[in-house]
Amino acid sequence: MSVAKKEYKRITTKTLVDMKKRGEKISMLTAYDFTMAKIVDGAGIEVILVGDSASNVMAGHETTLPITLDQMIYHASSVVRAITRSLVVVDIPFGSYQSDPKEALRSAIRIMKESGAHAVKVEGGKEIKESVKRILNAGIPVMGHLGLTPQSIYKFGTYTVRAKEEEEADKLKQDAILLEKAGCFAIVLEKVPAKLAKVVAESVSIPIIGIGAGNGVDGQVLVTHDMIGMTKEFNPRFLRRYLDLDAEMTGAFEQYSKDVKSGDFPNDKEQY
């Protein structure tokens, strides 16, 4: 059933909770730079995630692990300068919060103070409970992330679907409730069975944002470069490509090169 969309001038954490109550789906995309963030924000996307996926997309690393806190702050600062409406959430990178709640708080404070972001995101449940509490106690909004958690890829050994077995599914449900009780305003649920994701979304009052988690959740997130076809190597089942920018950009660059070499560019109207 479609729900009448309410106009929100500025998206906040409360907005997202209200949207869930209203049955209104939440759209979320990644951005890592000013220009892309300006376009995403202008399109009316509710949440912009400055993801540690910048490690893959922007720097070409195989995993999200190498990106540093300083680099995340740089990307986040660029994004924040572009937006007028979207909520900006920033991943705290690997190694900046898992081992010590005090370090987690220091990392979150640096992101908020130096980038101007609106919230941070962390991966994990019970294992990082104390870090989440420490950040929240400082008044910093936290988004959780359960299911496939890319920062733990070497622990999993694979990017396959998570929580297919009963034991892991039960832990995921418990972790979602734990994160809600701790004070998280939303949770990303990545690459888990759709039925399980729906159960989780119905068991908590905070929004569940899915990526590869079916349509029974409260919203969806994709990596922008994947969904507009700038990247071609990544082809999971959950990815829908809305553009083929790789082909369009390649064609434009090739045409530019031909025009330069032929002397067609610049023409009389394109010079002083």
Q: What amino acid positions are annotated as catalytic residues?
A: 190
98: CB partners within 8 A, 6+ apart: 104, 124, 127, 128, 131
- What value, to the nearest 5°, has the Cα angle with vertex 25 and ends 24 and 30? 145
Amino acid letter for position 222: L
- Are the beta carbons of 209 and 220 closer than 8 angstroms? yes
What is the amino acid identity at position 49? L
Cis preceding linkage at 93, omega within 30: no
- Given a contact cutoff of 8 angstroms between Cβ atoms, the answer to whether 115 and 77 are in contact is yes
